A and B are shown apart, each in its own frame.
Chain A
Amino acid sequence: RQPLSLSVAGERLCSTEEATAGSGTYTRHGFIFSSLAGCLEKKNEDNELPVVSVVRDSESQLLPNVGAVVTCKVCSINSRFAKVHILYVGSTPLKSTFRGTIRREDIRATEKDKVEVYKSFRPSDIVLAKVISLGDAQSNYLLSTAENELGVVVARSEAGVQMVPISWCEMQCPRTHTKEFRKVARVQPQFLQT
Chain B
Amino acid sequence: MSMEVESPPITPLPPSSLSLSLPPRPDRRLANQLRPPMCELGPLNRADGSARFAQGQTSVLAAVYGPAAPRFSRKERVEGAAVEVTVHPHYGLATSSEKEKEGAVKALLEAAICLERFPRTVIHVICQVCEDNGGLMACLMNAASLAVINAGIDMKYVPLTVSMALISPPSATMKALPSLPSSSSTTAPTSSSTYLLLDPINEEERQSIATITIGISSVDQNVLSCQSMGIMMPSQLFEAIDVAKGAAKALMAFLRMTIEEHSRHISKEK
On whether the two chains bind one another, the answer is: no
